[in-house]
Amino acid sequence: MNEFENFFNLSTDPMTIADANGKIVHANSVYTAITGWSVDELKATSYWDLIHPDDHAKARTALQTVKAGHPVFALEYRFLCKDGSYKTFIANLSGNKKSEHLYAISRLKEGQVVPYIMVANAAPVAVMIIDTNGAIIHANQLAESMFGYEAGELQGKSIEELIPARLRKKHKIHRGEYQSNPVNRPMGSQYNLKGLKKNGMEIRVDIALNPLHEQNELYVACSILDITEKITTAELALNLERENLRLAQLAQRDPLTQAYNRRTMEELFPKIAEECKRQNRSVSTIMLDVDNFKIFNDSYGHQTGDQLLKELAYIAQNHIRENDILVRYGGEEFFIIMPNCTPRQASEVAERIRSSLEKDMTSGHKITASLGISTYSFSSDLESADEVLEKLIEQSDQALYQAKNKGRNRVQHFSSI
In this structure, of 167-181, 333-347, 354-368, the range with the lowest mean pLDDT score is 354-368
pLDDT of residue 141: 93
282 contacts 391 by C-beta, under 8 angstroms? no
Choose among 116, 117, 111, 155: nearest CA to 136.
155
Are residues 276 and 205 located together in one domain of the fold? Answer: no
Q: What is the mean pLDDT of residues 309-317?
A: 94
Q: What is the mean pLDDT of residues 337-359?
A: 94
Are residues 312 and 409 located together in one domain of the fold? Answer: yes
From 50, 74, 109, the end of a domain falls on 109
214 contacts 109 by C-beta, under 8 angstroms? no
Examine residue 239 and state whether it is found in any structural domain, yes or no. no
pLDDT of residue 124: 82
Pairwise pLDDT comparison (191 vs 348), residue with the higher score: 348
pLDDT of residue 186: 72
pLDDT of residue 408: 95
Are residues 220 and 279 located together in one domain of the fold? Answer: no
Asked if 358 is an active-site residue, the reply is: no
For residue 83, give Cα distances in angstroms to 51, 140, 175: 14, 40, 41
pLDDT of residue 382: 66
Q: What is the mean pLDDT of residues 326-336?
A: 95
Examine residue 166 and state whether it is found in any structural domain, yes or no. yes
Q: Is the pLDDT of residue 238 over 80?
A: no
Examine residue 244 and state whether it is found in any structural domain, yes or no. no
pLDDT bin (cut points 50, 70, 90) of residue 100 is confident
Averaged confidence pLDDT in the chain: 87
Tally of domains in the chain: 3
Backbone angles phi, psi at 281, to 5 degrees: -110, 160
d(Cα 193, Cα 136) in Å, to the nearest integer? 18
Are residues 96 and 123 located together in one domain of the fold? Answer: no
From 65, 93, 109, the end of a domain falls on 109
For 172, residues 6+ apart whose C-beta sits below 8 A from its C-beta are 134, 160
Structural domain for 121, as ranges: 115-230
pLDDT of residue 128: 93
Are residues 53 and 8 located together in one domain of the fold? Answer: yes
pLDDT of residue 53: 95
Which of 332, 348, 358, 390 is labelled catalytic?
A: 332
pLDDT of residue 3: 56
Examine residue 264 and state whether it is found in any structural domain, yes or no. yes
Examine residue 240 and state whether it is found in any structural domain, yes or no. no
In this structure, of 144-148, 183-187, 261-265, 296-300, the range with the lowest mean pLDDT score is 183-187
Are residues 388 and 285 located together in one domain of the fold? Answer: yes
Are residues 293 and 169 located together in one domain of the fold? Answer: no
Domain CATH number, residue 326: 3.30.70.270
d(Cα 260, Cα 265) in Å, to the nearest integer? 7
In this structure, of 78-82, 182-186, 326-330, 360-364, the range with the lowest mean pLDDT score is 360-364
Choose among 38, 217, 36: nearest CA to 129.
217
| pTM of the predicted structure, to 2 decimals | 0.44
Sheet with 333-339: strands ordered across: 325-330, 333-339, 282-290, 369-377, 411-413
Are residues 411 and 327 located together in one domain of the fold? Answer: yes
Choose among 62, 223, 12, 228: nearest CA to 138.
223
Amino acid present at 404: K
Are residues 102 and 175 located together in one domain of the fold? Answer: no
For 161, residues 6+ apart whose C-beta sits below 8 A from its C-beta are 196
d(Cα 277, Cα 123) in Å, to the nearest integer? 53
What percent of the chain shows pLDDT beyond 90?
52
Q: Is the pLDDT of residue 354 over 90?
A: yes
Examine residue 275 and state whether it is found in any structural domain, yes or no. yes
158 contacts 40 by C-beta, under 8 angstroms? no
Are residues 177 and 266 located together in one domain of the fold? Answer: no
Q: What is the mean pLDDT of residues 385-398?
A: 95
Examine residue 241 and state whether it is found in any structural domain, yes or no. no
pLDDT of residue 11: 63
pLDDT of residue 98: 82
Give residue-wise pLDDT tens across range 253-272.
898 999 999 999 999 999 99
Examine residue 243 and state whether it is found in any structural domain, yes or no. no
For 415, residues 6+ apart whose C-beta sits below 8 A from its C-beta are 343, 375
Domain CATH number, residue 137: 3.30.450.20
Backbone angles phi, psi at 139, to 5 degrees: -135, 130
pLDDT of residue 187: 56
Are residues 257 and 396 located together in one domain of the fold? Answer: yes
Are residues 158 and 139 located together in one domain of the fold? Answer: yes
